């Protein structure tokens, strides 16, 4: 057997091993999610969830909808995630563009380090620090403090997505607009912003999904009157999960996947438009 044949066999074996490892990792990650979705249709015994599947039913979805505390937590999550994502959209888009186009290299490095710090710092540290800060300063916990706590990470996520798109922009378009007498504000509004819009939308959707699903920081900053859905679901597990909890978790999972899918589509469109423009320029 030649050396080339041995290399081909070894390469195929490596690819097969990596594919097997990838499949096992995906199975490990998504098997609990699949089990939760299946058990949201489990009939159970006397209105209780059981470890054995006893039959199919759709009753737990109306039961979750009729749970007043659950509905309030959903409303709180939607409200908090909307405002957090809106703030992250404005600040993150500006930060992402500044990471690429700010004239000072030192400022770009400082902003880049700050952005990555927002992602690297553990959420537990952020939650504890904010709780102590609010306690020392006497600021009462509520929706505003919760929004302030979960927004920084969303800003960093949006900034990195917008930064990736800003790196592909052709500066010659802005130079041509300046040569034609356009001001910086008009160039930003009519030239730069339309090209960044798909990435901005992707960052906003990603931020909304992350803020809606945030558990660690929210667990420190929620109150009996301001309680998010992830915190409510986590608290309900301590006393044994009700069947309606599985139904609510399934709906949240599908909602999050839908948002992430839309974000991926927007980001893909932004990359495609960037390649088309760069190809047309050549």
Supply the pTM of this predicted model: 0.74
User: How far, in Å, CA of 22 to CA of 157, rounded?
Assistant: 26
Instruction: Give mean pLDDT, residues 70-77.
Output: 87
Kindly give, in sequence order, each residue whose CB lies less than 8 Å from that of residue 2, ignoring residues fewer than 6 positions away: none
Q: Domain boundaries in the chain?
A: 1-31, 60-281
CA distances from 69 to 93, 129, 227, 243 (A): 35, 28, 9, 15
Let me know: does 153 contact 108? Beta carbons within 8 Å: no
pLDDT category at 50 given cuts 50, 70, 90 is low
> Nearest-5° angle of CA 159, CA 252, CA 77?
65
pLDDT band at 146 (very low <50, low <70, confident <90, very high): very high
* Residue linked to tokens 């001001």: 183
For residues 141 and 221, the answer to whether their CB atoms sit within 8 Å is: yes
* Token pair 């500006």 in the structure block, residue: 94
Rounded to an integer, the average pLDDT of 166-183 is 78
CB 159 within 8 A of CB 116: no
Superfamily of domain 60-281, CATH level 4: MetI-like (1.10.3720.10)
CA dihedral 260, 92, 220, 65 (to 10 degrees): -40
Tens-digit pLDDT profile for residues 55-64: 787 888 888 8
Query: How much of the chain exceeds pLDDT 70, in percent?
Result: 86
Quick: pLDDT tens for 99-136.
988 889 899 899 999 999 888 888 899 999 999 999 99
Mean pLDDT to the nearest integer, 144-163: 91
Distance, in Å, from the CA atom of 267 to the CA atom of 113, rounded to the nearest integer, reads 23
pLDDT at site 101? 85
Q: Check residues 90 and 51 and name the one with the higher pLDDT.
A: 90
**Which pLDDT does position 270 carry in this prediction?**
61
pLDDT of 239-255, one tens digit each?
A: 666 777 788 888 888 88
pLDDT band at 281 (very low <50, low <70, confident <90, very high): very low
- What secondary structure does DSSP assign to 7-39, as a single string? HHHHHHHHHHHHHHHHHHHHHHHHHHHHHHHHH
254 exposure class (CB count in 10 Å sphere: 0-12, 13-18, 19+) = exposed
Distance from C-alpha of 25 to C-alpha of 72, rounded to nearest angstrom:
36
pLDDT of 268 > 50? The answer is: yes
SS3 content of the chain, % helix, strand, coil (to 5): 80, 0, 20
């Amino acid at each position: 057997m030649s050396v080339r044949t041995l290399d081909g066999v070894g390469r195929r074996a490596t690819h097969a091993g990596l594919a097997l490892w990838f499949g096992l990792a995906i199975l490990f990650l998504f098997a609990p999610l699949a089990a939760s979705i299946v058990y949201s249709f489990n009939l159970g015994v006397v209105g209780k969830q059981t470890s054995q599947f006893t039959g199919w039913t759709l009753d737990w979805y109306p039961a979750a909808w009729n749970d007043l505390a659950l509905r309030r937590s959903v409303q709180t999550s939607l409200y908090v995630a909307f405002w957090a994502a809106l703030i992250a959209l404005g600040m993150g888009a500006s930060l992402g563009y500044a990471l690429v186009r700010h004239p000072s290299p030192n400022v770009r490095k400082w902003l880049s380090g700050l952005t990555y710090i927002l992602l690297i710092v553990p959420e537990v540290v952020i939650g504890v620090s904010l709780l102590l800060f609010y306690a020392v300063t006497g600021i009462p916990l509520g929706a505003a403090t919760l929004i302030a706590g979960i927004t920084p990470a969303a800003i960093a996520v949006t900034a990195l997505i917008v930064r990736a798109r800003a790196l592909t922009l052709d500066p010659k378009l802005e130079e041509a607009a300046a040569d034609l007498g356009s001001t910086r504000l008009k160039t930003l509004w009519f030239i730069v912003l339309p090209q960044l819009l798909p990435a901005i939308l992707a960052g906003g959707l990603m931020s909304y999904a992350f803020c809606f699903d945030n558990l660690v920081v929210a667990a420190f900053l929620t109150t009996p009157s301001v309680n998010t859905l992830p915190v409510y679901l986590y608290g309900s597990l301590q006393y044994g999960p009700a069947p309606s909890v599985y139904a609510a978790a399934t709906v949240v999972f599908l909602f999050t996947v839908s948002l992430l899918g839309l974000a991926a589509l927007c980001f893909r469109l932004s990359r495609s438009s960037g390649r088309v423009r760069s190809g047309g320029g050549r």
